[in-house]
Structures are given as structure tokens and as C-alpha cells.
Amino acid sequence: MSIPEITQKLLAAKKDKGLSFTDLEKILGRDEVWIAAAIYRQASASEEEAKQLVEALGLDESYVKELTEYPVKGLGPVVPTDPLIYRFYEIMQVYGMPMKAVIHEKFGDGIMSAIDFTLDIEKEEDPKGDRVKVIMSGKFLPYKKW
Amino acid sequence: MSIPEITQKLLAAKKDKGLSFTDLEKILGRDEVWIAAAIYRQASASEEEAKQLVEALGLDESYVKELTEYPVKGLGPVVPTDPLIYRFYEIMQVYGMPMKAVIHEKFGDGIMSAIDFTLDIEKEEDPKGDRVKVIMSGKFLPYKKW
Amino acid sequence: MSIPEITQKLLAAKKDKGLSFTDLEKILGRDEVWIAAAIYRQASASEEEAKQLVEALGLDESYVKELTEYPVKGLGPVVPTDPLIYRFYEIMQVYGMPMKAVIHEKFGDGIMSAIDFTLDIEKEEDPKGDRVKVIMSGKFLPYKKW
Amino acid sequence: MSIPEITQKLLAAKKDKGLSFTDLEKILGRDEVWIAAAIYRQASASEEEAKQLVEALGLDESYVKELTEYPVKGLGPVVPTDPLIYRFYEIMQVYGMPMKAVIHEKFGDGIMSAIDFTLDIEKEEDPKGDRVKVIMSGKFLPYKKW
Amino acid sequence: MSIPEITQKLLAAKKDKGLSFTDLEKILGRDEVWIAAAIYRQASASEEEAKQLVEALGLDESYVKELTEYPVKGLGPVVPTDPLIYRFYEIMQVYGMPMKAVIHEKFGDGIMSAIDFTLDIEKEEDPKGDRVKVIMSGKFLPYKKW
Amino acid sequence: MSIPEITQKLLAAKKDKGLSFTDLEKILGRDEVWIAAAIYRQASASEEEAKQLVEALGLDESYVKELTEYPVKGLGPVVPTDPLIYRFYEIMQVYGMPMKAVIHEKFGDGIMSAIDFTLDIEKEEDPKGDRVKVIMSGKFLPYKKW
Amino acid sequence: MSIPEITQKLLAAKKDKGLSFTDLEKILGRDEVWIAAAIYRQASASEEEAKQLVEALGLDESYVKELTEYPVKGLGPVVPTDPLIYRFYEIMQVYGMPMKAVIHEKFGDGIMSAIDFTLDIEKEEDPKGDRVKVIMSGKFLPYKKW
Amino acid sequence: MSIPEITQKLLAAKKDKGLSFTDLEKILGRDEVWIAAAIYRQASASEEEAKQLVEALGLDESYVKELTEYPVKGLGPVVPTDPLIYRFYEIMQVYGMPMKAVIHEKFGDGIMSAIDFTLDIEKEEDPKGDRVKVIMSGKFLPYKKW
Amino acid sequence: MSIPEITQKLLAAKKDKGLSFTDLEKILGRDEVWIAAAIYRQASASEEEAKQLVEALGLDESYVKELTEYPVKGLGPVVPTDPLIYRFYEIMQVYGMPMKAVIHEKFGDGIMSAIDFTLDIEKEEDPKGDRVKVIMSGKFLPYKKW
Amino acid sequence: MSIPEITQKLLAAKKDKGLSFTDLEKILGRDEVWIAAAIYRQASASEEEAKQLVEALGLDESYVKELTEYPVKGLGPVVPTDPLIYRFYEIMQVYGMPMKAVIHEKFGDGIMSAIDFTLDIEKEEDPKGDRVKVIMSGKFLPYKKW
């Protein structure tokens, strides 16, 4: 996996500024996961969003243009080796068919959109060990018949 | 992908009985996704859970033993072809690195457990089209140093 | 690639009856490609559609139930070896990036839905050799920001 | 996937000039998808076409030679990760066999040519959401017997 | 690689009858390679051809129908392990680009058709060891511009 | 696929000189396909051949040494994406087993050598469209028993 | 496999200093395997640990920042080719299922954590040839039901 | 992964008898992991060991012969999907290179044998959660020079 | 890897007869490795050899025909998992390029034939542990120029 | 496959000096294949061996350090494309199982070591064409039971 150069530049600036993704969320009015996706060039920003981001990171405007382009998406290798990312692959391997069964039963034949889609990450404090909460919300798209 | 024979039997009985996963959730006191996972042989039931499930489906006890065994998990092909399941693979391809960045920032170096883990699926009614909501909650496991 | 047994049964019955997909299109009021997709268990029929299809093919109702189930979709090997199907893979290899560029320019960042989607096949008569015309129409789904 | 350097240069010039593919279509008298394919080095231009293109983009003639060469074609990874391009792969996975069945029935044993082939992309305005229309037209090539 | 059952039946009958492919060539008036392709279900026979073949092999007409169907083509694994077949893969690996260069120079941008195509195998007697001669002839298809 | 740098240099010089492979065939007294293979570093030239080639292309002698080295052969990806080269892969997928059957019948158990091997490409003029003729000739090597 | 540049720098400094991993274990108070993991950028050091390590190796502090970052983990190719590393892959291929059986019997359904995990390597002197002893200790994580 | 039939028979008998691997360890005088390996047909038993095992499981002697055969070893898919087994693959991905570095430093150039090799699994009781302890011991094999 | 049924039958008969491959070598006058290859259907026997083999194993003549057929060769998975066979793959990975360099230097550009080829296995007794000696002898085939 | 830079340097120096591997064998007192392996960084030299080698090639001592390091071994792609190296892969595909059967019969359950291993290449002069003789000798390692 090769991280785009612009991503490395933006992350370094973010570190230097001491800004968290949550800080950026407040500045840009966009969710921190979406902002991270824009920084990793998996989402395209509007010109205004790109300018706000670049300004917040204390960089000059030369990065704006690339951040507004529509990227070729998909960063990972076929099977991810990083343990954190692999767990999401494992969840799909283990719970994919059960999820398919439950979603079809609730909604009929179709899919959860990964485009009309949001993803939030929250920290659940727990005395037995904090928990990562991931909330995905995607529009249900029923299969069209024709 | 070959669906285990017992899964096919249980799903057929469930259909004949006209029971939804939500109905089974009420009967067993376990989440419908976990029940689907047990039926797909991705989770192991206790003897009591297996008996309740088999009884609810109107089947004889011969299925109990297999349901309590610890399965070899992971059903899918390396890259899933079913569009519903593929979308979760795509989410990992597109949002995997951004999620990694946000989780590390909130929690430090470590992962979200896929074992001490729950997964819920809800239907969000929406006039612009209902939405599938997937809520994952996994214990954060920090990397041990030694 | 293993063709489902029900597909083989339905295709054999269709051949015995001497019915073309176009004939079935007239009987069911659904497009012939969609009907072929239902027969190959890549689309799920309503109970009424399944009954009409089974009846048209002179088969008993035992096939109706399976035709209405929501299938695990995706028939092919990773890279198809059949020359007719491979050509569509080749088109994606050669024209995929150009199509991406043109679609993004016309619509912005997003995708053509493969779910809210129709596909027609027509025969264009041409003295230099007839042509296959494939018309795809999919709803444009813009990437949601959140 | 590595985009050829010349492609990046031409796309940057196109952006600077504020020209759309549709504008280039009018200037060159070739379809915008074909022009995009030439820019991505998936199609070879004649010297005249290359000169027109380079001139329209305000570049010097040094690019003409490369644009007229016969490229090694095929840009993508085996299974594309970009969601827009993946959807065309998914269409082949789900509808490949049904399309094969319908094409064979209409034309006999053979294939749709991907060489004697055209591809158009149109925007269908629709109050429920605009639609992407892709029209492929390829000569039917019957299998020769010998 | 799984050889179709019908192929095994036809080859066994051919062996019992003591017929060579060359004998079949004389009986059917089709090239022996094409006949072998039909037997391996890589080419579809007309009803008349199928009848002639089945009759020549002393089999009843029950095989005719399957021989006339349009097969899903492509028998081999991605990289063939059989040494005889592998050599053709190796030829493509080693001489593929040189052939591409020479064909383009002689014909322009396009391909040799594998559909409007014939393939002959001859034995060249040679005191230093007989030689296998393979003659392929495919229509040149120039890339269409549009 | 990465084309060796020397190949790019030689092809550029060949283009500048306006020499075809057929011209080089006359100058070197070697077949044009073999010369293309030497240029693509899939075959090793003798010092004399290398000098003749380099001289014909108007280059200095610095290229001679590399052209005489025994290369690591095999240029392509596992499954080629370039349509012209893919067709030869497809031919092996579709006609591989039939060719094996015919060659074994004519020669016994063994293979066609890809080393004691020649390959010619000819243009067959045809009013219905010119044809590419590829003639391979390889020594038959019978399996040794010991 | 590409070894990160920082790893190469640190290993070279370690060699120049004549320090073994065991020496570093004494200096840092961390196990030598963990230190090696930190050097290969598979584990993240605290700022203090990074400083100690850099100082011990006689390098300036410019390396501290990178050593504290949370790395994208996983160095190897899918199937390792290095014989030493391959043997661990082979152990998993041969003894994976037996280990699964024994662990499940001792602990129930769940896994050995690879995160709350330590790994030690010891030299067992043995007159018939010294032995490598690898001791892994990972927290057992039982599958949560919900 | 297909579990050999004999394995399924032996495991079922073991379950019926209510015997644990630890019980078998006491009866056979072999480590439980080795016994599990023999049952999964990854290790070959002597005739005496096979008889003891079969007798302990209350089965007739018909299984003895197969248990003494030298098996084709290696059960798993290339990348294991079962979470318990995957963790050992992940350990190799993350800690493979660090282990290589430490082993080379302690022993020189060579490998840990996976043949002259033992593997023990122990349960470490721990108030914060029991731990799985895996102890591997393999003879160090130095690379021979010749 | 699926072992052909005939192989299993022949090996069982060989075991019942208490015959070693060395015994068969004496009876047939062919090397034991070649005989093993014939039994595994990787080499084709003459009718006489097949009869001798079948008779030696005490089987009826029904196996003769299959043993004389020219098999589709190549048994293993892409990367072998069996440790004994894997070592030969490892040898190729580690010593392949060095062998290529030495062979080219001794013989020029070409290959060692795997067809005009013999392979012997001998036991070298050695007080430090017996050694497996594998002797391959293949005709050198120089690359033909044309 | 990327050849290490040091390998290219050493091979160039060897060529300039006009030294064969056989010459180096005489100078270093090590087998030419092992020397080639050291040059390709598949074997590690002692400091003395490295100095001798570097001196023989007329290079300065800067290469000594790298030659003594323990390399990450394994040069090739999964399936080699170079015909000379591929033949050894083919031998394993075709004769792997027969070799396994013969070795097990002669030695019991275990493997031929690829570490305590030597490999020689000899030229067998033969009027019908010289032969490449490859002699491998590896210690037999019996599977340990525990």
C-alpha cells in the first residue's frame, strides 16, 4: 500500500499543528472520518472544504486543487495485513452471510449503499475496557426489476 | 462458497415456520445477527441455546450437537462477489485507512476486537429511502509491550 | 463456474417448449435479460412472477419457492475464460478509466448504480455484419458527505 | 494502477484550459469516450487527431508522437477497487451469464467484438435522480468453423 | 481442470472404434482440431455435424443435443501445469510482445481475431527429429474509432 | 509489465530511422520476429548480430554487450490484459486441450519444444479482411523413459 | 518486501556500535523481540523508549518521531519465500488445525490474542544441535455472545 | 478446507467416549498436540501408536493402516480465514522479520527446523484473563556451505 | 490436490503385495521414480509396461488401458504445502537464479529439458545422518535462432 | 524479480575480469553454485570468503559487509516465467508426488533438508546432445514425535 504524497504532507502538518481529527471536525463542520477520508484521497472535497482544511493545517493553497479531484479509490491490498484493518475483513468473512440474511429479511432483495453512506466512530467508555463503536448508515437500495 | 447442510436445513425450517430472525431474537434472548451467525455455523451455541433454537424451528434434537461445536469460521471467497457483502469489503478498501487513523487517535496503538464484539442491524425509516444501520462495538485492545 | 441445478432444469424446459427469451418477455412483461437473470438465480422473482415463469415453461410449482429466494449473487470466476463474457471484462480493463473520467465530468463524484439499474440487449442489423447493442442505465449516486 | 505520465500532463492541461470532454468532442469530431481513451493511452490517435488534440490543449507538438503509438492496453488491477469501475465488474459477475444466454439466442455462437466497438455515455435527466446511460455497440462475430 | 462427461464418453467411443481425429476429419469434412474442440465442448456443432459425429462413433443420438449447445468456453487453469499446454503459455510470455510489435507494424492498431480463426496442426518430418507445425489464421480486426 | 530501457531506446531509434522489422530481417538475415524478441530482450544475440543491429539502428556500440547477455525471459503479467496478446491466451484456454489431443495422436506422449522453435507472422490478403497468419514450428520432444 | 528506510538506518547503526538485541534489551528494559519489532516498524515506541533506543544507537533525535508513530503493520508477502520465515507458515499449515482443536478443548470457543501477546526467543543448548525455543503467550479471548 | 473423513470419525468417537486430548496424552505417552496432528492426518503414527489410539477411541482396527501412512501435509487455505488460525498467520506477518533478526543474531545464518520440532500448548491461569502459551522448540539448522 | 482413483488402487495393491518401488524397478526394468510417475499418472506406460506392472501388483488387466493413456500432467497446487515437496520449490526460489547463471555459463542460452530427462533418488548413508541424493539429467536445448 | 544492485555490480566485474564461476571455484575453494548463490545474495559469506571474492573480482572492500549479511532469501515470482527456471518448477509439478513416494519408502516420514544441502551442476558430454546434470544432496530429516 502506497500512501499518496499529499496525504503524508497533510498528516505531518496536522501533527505539527497538534490538531486532532476531532478538532478538524469542529473547524470544517464535517465528520472526522470523512475528513480523514479526504486526507487519504478517498473522498473529494469541495473547493471551499479544501481551502478550510489547508488553511487549518497552515499550508499554502497549492494543495487545494488535488484535494478537489475525484480520486481513484481503494487503498488496501486484497487481504489487508494490518491487524486493525484486517479485523474488518474478518468481520465480513465471519458475519457477512448472517448480515446478508438479516438485511434481506428486514428490507427485501437489495443492498446497503456504500455511496449514500456515513460512518461514525465513537469511544464507549467501559470499566472492563473501552470499546470502539462503529456506526454505519447506508441507504437501502432495492434491486430494480425491468 | 458452500453453505453448510445444517444451515440449509435450519433456514428451510425457519421459512416453513414463518419465523423471522426478530422472532427468534425474542424466543432465544439473543440478538438476531448472533442467531443468524449460529445458524450459518460461524458461532457456537451453548447446549441450551441450541435446544431452544431447534425447538423453535420444530426440528428434532439431532441438530443440537453440531450447533454446539466450535466451527472453522470464515465463509466467503477472498473477494466476495455478492453485491451486498461486497459493499462491506469496499467500505474497508475505501475507509479502512481513515478509520485506522481516527481509531488510533482516539485510542492509541491497538485494534478493535472482532471477538469481544457485537453487531446490530437496524432499519432507519427515512422518507428519502429507508437506511440500513449497522452498529459494531468491539473492545479496544491496546498492543502489549514486553 | 457451476450453474445451479434449477437453472439447468428451467433452461431445458424452455428449450423443450421452444420458447425464446423474447417470448418470455411478452408473457411475463419483464425484460428478457432480467428473466435470464432470474433463471440464472442472479435476481429474485416475486411469487407471481415465479408462478408465471414456471407455468410458461410447463413445470410444476415446486420451483416457485427457490425462484423467490434472495440469491447469493456473482457467478463467474475472477477473470472469466468464456470469450463472450471476457470481452466485457476487457472493455472494463481498456475503457474503465476513460469512462470514469467522462462520468465524473458529467455527474461529479459518485458512481452508476448497479442495483437501480437496467440492461437491454438489442440486435442492430447492419449489412457489414449485425451488431450487438447493450444499453445500461443506472441511477447516478453522488458520494454523500457527512 | 499507474497512470501514464503523458495522461497526467494532458489532463492537467485540459483542466487549465477549462475544456470538458464534450468540448473536445466538438473540436476533434470524435466521441468523448474515445478521446478519453486516447488520453489514457488505451487508443492510438492518427497524427492529425493527435495534433488537433495537443493544439486544443495548448501543448507543444512533443506529445504527438506518443499519442500515435499503439499502446499496451489494459489499465486496471485484476479486480478493480475503485467503486465506479468495480460496478462494471459486478455487472459482468451478476449479469454475464444472462447476457451470454440472450446474445447467443439472438445471434448464435459467437461474441460481441470489443474491437469493432463503440461506447457512448449519456446523461438521462430524471426527477428521481439522473441516470447514467452507457450504450455499447459491437459487431457480432460468429465462431468460424473450419 | 474437469473434463466434461460427454467428452470422456466420446473419446472412449473413438478409442473403441479405433478412429483417429484424421479419420473423423475425412468423415465430417471439418478439420481435426475443430472436431477435437467440439468433442471437448469448446465449439458448438450444427445438428447435422453432431449427428455425423455421433454416428461415426457408434453412439446413439442422445448426445446430439448437448453437442449443439453453445458452451461456456475455457478449460484450463490460469497457468496450465500440463507441459504440452504450458509451452504455448510460455510462447506467449516470451514472444507475446515481439509478436505484438510485428503484427502492429504489418497491420496497424488492432488484433488477430480468435473467433474468425482457424488452427491447423501438421507433422513435419525431419531427420533431426519430427516437428510440430501449428498454423493459426485469424482475421485482423482494426480498432474502430468513433 | 515494464519494458526494459534498452528496448525503448532501440525501438525509438528504429522509428527515427524509419526501419521496419522486415527491413531489419533483410539486413540481419534473421526473421523479424526473432529480431523483435532480441530487441525486447527475450532472445540473446551473438556479438556479430548485436553489432549489425546496433549499426543498422544508427546507435553506438554501447548496446552490444547487453544484447548478447542471456536474459531472464517472460515479460507478461500472469493473465495478459492487452487485447492482442490476450487472444493468444484465449486460444490456449479454448483450444489447448483439443491441440493436446491431436498432437498426442500424431506424435505420442511428449511436447512441442518452445526452445527448438521458430515463429513466423505473415499477412494473408483477403477481400473480406486481411488475415494474420502465425506459423509455429517446434521440434517434437518425446517423453524419455528411464 | 521492502524494508523501511529507518529500519535500515537503525540496523546499520546497531551493527556499527556492535550492539546485539540482547544488549538493547538490557538498556531499554524491553524484550529483544519487541525491540526488533519496533526497529522494523511493526510496533510503536513511547517517546521515552524511542529516545533511549536512538541514543543507544548513537543517532540523533530525528528518528524519534517516526518510531512513535502507529505503523501500518504486516511486512511479508502472502506466502513468505525466506526459508526461516516460511517454516512458521508451514507450522501453521501443518499444525494449525491440531492447535485449534487443543486450544478449543482447553479454553472453549475463542482465540489467542495476537495483540495482548508476548513472544520470546531462547537458545536451548543441546549436544545434538542447539535448539530455537519460541514462547508465545497471548490472552485467551472468548467469543462474546450478544 | 476439507477435513479427512477419518479425522471426522476419530473426533466423533473421541467425543462419544468423553475423552480429552489430555486424556489421550496420558494413554499414548505422546503430547496432545502431536496426537491431534495424527488425528488430522498431519503426522504419521507407528503401528503401535495407531493401535493404542484406535483402541482408546473404541474403534475397530480398520483405521490403523491409514493412520500409519505418510500423509500429504498442509491443511489450510493460503491465507486462513478462521480467526484462531489466522492469528498465527498475523504473528508471522508482524513479527516474522523481527524474529528472523533475533534468531540470526543468536544462531547465525540458518533456520529453526519445522521437522525436528515440538509444539506444546499450555493454559496459564491469570486473574486478568487466562493466557494461551505456545512453546515451539526446533533444532537450529545452519546453512551448509559447499 | 486430488490423487487419481487408479493411483490409490495401485498403491493399495502394492502395499498389500509388500512390494517396494525398488522391487518394481527390478521386475519392470524401469527406474523406480519413473514407475512411481506412471502410477501417479504423470507418465504413460507402453501396453507391455502396463501389463507387467498390473500383473506384478496382482490386479486384473482392466487398469492397463488407463495406464497407457497420455495424461494431463501436473499434480500440485501452485505453491505446494507438503513440506517434502515444498523444499524443492524452496530450492528453486533460493538457487534458481544461481543455477541459471551457472548453466548459461557452461552451456550458453538455452534450458535443461524436463522431457528428455531422468531423475534418480539414492540413499547416501552418512554417520551424521543419511542423505537424500537426487540426480537430474536433462538434455541441454539451445535456443534456436531463425 | 529485481536483482540486487550488488549482484549486478559483482556480475559486471566478473565479466570484465573474464572469470567464470569455475575459475572462482578454484580461487575460493567453494562450489561454483554456492558462489553464484552468494553473489545473488541467497547465501551469506564469511568475512574471509567475501574478501577473497571481492579481491578476485578486482573490487574494493566496500562490498564485503553486505556479502556477509544474512539475506532475506527467495528471488523468484510465485510461478517463474523464465523457461530455464520454470522447468525446475515443472519437474516439481510432474514428479513431486512420485519423488515423495520414493523418498518416504526409502527413508520413512520426513523430508530432504534444503539447508543441510548441496547442489552441483555438471556438463555430461553426449554425442546426441550434451546433458545438464544436477546433483542435489540433502540430509534426511525424520519427523520428530513428541
CA-CA distance, J6 to G125, in Å (whole number)? Answer: 36
Cell numbers given for H1:
478446507
Residue-wise pLDDT for I28-87, tens only, equals 999 999 999 999 999 999 999 999 999 999 999 999 999 999 999 998 789 999 999 999
pLDDT-derived band at H113 (thresholds 50, 70, 90) equals: very high
Size of interface H-I (CB pairs under 8 A): 14
How far apart are the C-alpha atoms of J112 and J114, rounded to whole Å?
A: 6
Give the whole-angstrom CA distance, residue E114 versus residue E73. Answer: 12
Chain D interface disruption, residue of E115, E117, E121, most D CBs within 10 A = E115
What is the reported pLDDT for G1?
65
Whether F2 has a pLDDT exceeding 90, the answer reads no
| Per-residue pLDDT at E15 | 94
- Tally of residues, chain C: 146
Distance of CA I51 to the CA centre of its chain: 20
What length is written for chain G?
146
Q: Which amino acid is at A8?
A: Q
What is the Cα–Cα distance from E8 to D145, expressed in whole angstroms?
22
Residue C115 near residue A144 (C-beta atoms within 8 A): yes
In percent, the amount of chain F with pLDDT more than 90 equals 96
Of H143, H142, H145, I134, which is closest to residue J25 (Cα–Cα)? H145
Of the residues B48, B90, B131, B137, which is catalytic?
B90
State how far the Cα of I128 lies from the Cα of C104, in Å rounded to an integer.
70
Which set of grid coordinates corresponds to residue F29? 538475415
Question: Do the chains contact at F132 and E123, CB–CB below 8 Å?
Answer: no
Catalytic residue numbers of E read 87, 90, 113
Separation of first and last alpha carbons in chain F: 40
Strands (E), C1-146: 110-124, 131-142
Edge-to-edge strands, sheet with G110-124: G110-124, G131-142, H131-142, H110-124
Spatial separation of the C-alpha atoms in residues I55 and I41, rounded to whole Å: 17
Mean pLDDT of I14-18: 95
Contact G90 I86 (CB under 8 A): yes
**Nearest residue to A80 via CA among A92, A66, A71, A98:** A92
| pLDDT(A1) > 80 | no
* G122 annotated active-site: no
When CB atoms are compared, the residue of F72, F75, F76 closest to J1 is F72
Q: Is residue E66 classed exposed, middle or buried when 0-12, 13-18 and 19+ CB atoms within 10 A define those classes?
A: middle
Residue I29 in grid coordinates? 526394468
Partner-chain residue, chosen from G81, G83, G93, that has the shortest CB–CB distance to I81: G93
Q: Measuring CA to CA, which residue among C84, D89, F88, F101 is closest to residue E73?
A: C84
Q: F93, F116, F135, F144: best mutation site toward chain E, by most E Cβ within 10 Å?
A: F93
Active-site residue, selected from the candidate residues I61, I87, I131, I137: I87
Neighbouring chains of A at 3+ CB pairs under 8 Å are: B, C, D, G, H
d(CA G41, CA C111): 37
Confidence of residue C1 (pLDDT cuts 50, 70, 90): low
Q: Which of I47, I48, I69, I90 is catalytic?
A: I90
Q: Do D73 and F80 touch (CB under 8 A)?
A: no
Does residue I60 sit in helix, strand or coil? coil
User: Chain A: residue nearest B37 by CA?
Assistant: A98
Give residue G75's pLDDT: 87
pLDDT > 90: what percent of chain H? 96
Q: Is D in contact with J (3 or more beta carbon pairs below 8 Å)?
A: no
Has residue G110 got a pLDDT over 90? yes
Active-site residue list of A? 87, 90, 113
Residue pair F41/F70 in contact (Cβ under 8 Å)? The answer is no
Torsion of CA F3, C77, F94, D44, to 10 degrees: -40
- Dig out the grid coordinates for G100 from the structure: 485449534
Return the closest-CA partner of residue G66 out of G55, G77, G51: G51
Q: Which of G30, G70, G143 is opposite residue B43, by nearest beta carbon?
A: G143
CATH of segment(s) G83-142: 3.30.1160.10
Helix (H, G, I), strand (E, B) or coil at B70: coil
Q: What is the pLDDT of residue H76?
A: 80
Could you say which of C72, C114, C115 has the minimum Cβ distance to residue B1?
C72
The region, left, alpha or beta by phi > 0 then psi within -120 to 50, assigned to residue F47 is alpha
Task: List, in sequence order, every beta strand (DSSP E) within chain F.
Answer: 110-124, 131-142
Is residue C7's pLDDT more than 90?
A: yes
pLDDT of residue D1: 65
Task: Give the mean pLDDT of chain F.
Answer: 95
- Nearest chain I residue to J19 by CA: give it: I105
Q: By C-alpha distance, which of C125, C119, C87 is closest to C21?
A: C119
CATH architecture of A5-68: Orthogonal Bundle (1.10)
Residue J2's pLDDT is what?
79
In whole numbers, what is the pLDDT of chain J averaged over residues?
Answer: 95
Report, as an integer, the average pLDDT of C118-145. 97
- Poorest-pLDDT segment among A36-40, C1-5, C113-117, J24-28: C1-5
The residue-averaged pLDDT of F78-104 equals 96
Confidence class for position C70, pLDDT limits 50, 70, 90: very high
Fold agreement (B5-68, B83-142):
no
Q: What pLDDT band is residue F131 in, cutting at 50, 70 and 90?
A: very high
User: What's the pLDDT at A129?
Assistant: 95
Are residues A67 and A44 in contact, defined by beta-carbon separation less than 8 angstroms? yes
Out of H43, H97, H141, closest to residue J116 by CB: H141
Residues of F in contact with C83 (CB under 8 A): 90, 94
CB contact under 8 A, A94 and H83: yes
Mean of per-residue pLDDT scores for chain B: 95
The per-residue b/e assignment along A65-89, b for 16 or more CB within 10 angstroms, e otherwise, is eebbebbbbbbbeebbbbbbbbbbb
The contact set of G with B (CB < 8 A) is 30-31, 34, 43-44, 70, 72, 97, 100, 104, 108-111, 113, 115-119, 141-146
- Give the model's confidence band at B1: pLDDT under 50 very low, under 70 low, under 90 confident, else very high: low
Q: Are H6 and H67 in contact (CB under 8 A)?
A: yes
Q: What is the structure's pLDDT at E1?
A: 65
Would the CB atoms of J90 and E86 count as touching at under 8 Å? Answer: yes
- Domain residue extents for chain J: 5-68, 83-142
- Measured CB to CB, residues of chain A less than 8 Å from chain D are 72-76, 78, 114-115
> Min CA distance, D28 vs chain E (Å)?
11
Inter-chain residue contact C94 with F86, CB threshold 8 Å: no
Look-up: residue for cell 477472498?
A: B78
On the question of pLDDT at G76 being above 90, the answer is no
Q: Where are the alpha helices (DSSP H) in chain J?
A: 5-17, 21-28, 32-39, 47-56, 64-68, 83-107
Which pLDDT band holds residue B76 (cuts at 50, 70, 90)? Answer: confident
Place of cell 425464446: C20
E49, pLDDT greater than 90: yes
Degrees (nearest 5) of the Cα angle D121, D125, D130? Answer: 80
Cα distances from A89 to residues B89, D83, H86, in angstroms, run 7, 17, 12
Strand order of the sheet with strand B110-124? A110-124, A131-142, B131-142, B110-124
| Mean pLDDT of the region C128-135 | 97
Q: pLDDT at residue D20 above 80?
A: yes
Q: What pLDDT does residue H1 have? A: 65
- Contact of chains F and B by CB distance (3 or more pairs under 8 angstroms): no
Whether the CB-CB separation of F138 and E131 falls below 8 Å is answered with yes
Kindly state the cell numbers that stand for H6.
477419518
How long, in residues, is chain J? 146
Partner residue facing C115 (CB), from A31, A110, A146 = A110
- Rounded distance between C-alpha atoms, residue F138 and residue F116, angstroms: 6
H49 three-state secondary structure: helix
Q: How confident is the model at residue I2 (pLDDT cuts 50, 70, 90)?
A: confident
Amino acid occupying residue F109: D
Total residues belonging to chain A: 146
- CA pair distance H83, B71, nearest whole angstrom: 11
Query: Residue G116 — φ and ψ, nearest 5°?
Result: -85, 75
Please state the separation of Cα I54 from the chain's center in Å.
19
Read off φ and ψ for residue E136, nearest 5 degrees: -105, 140
Report residue F109: phi and psi, to 5°: -80, 125
C-alpha cell at I17: 503385495
- Which residue of F lies nearest to I32 if distances are taken between CA atoms? F146
**Which tens digit of pLDDT belongs to each residue from J1-37?**
678 999 999 999 999 999 999 999 999 999 999 999 9
pLDDT at F77 over 80: yes
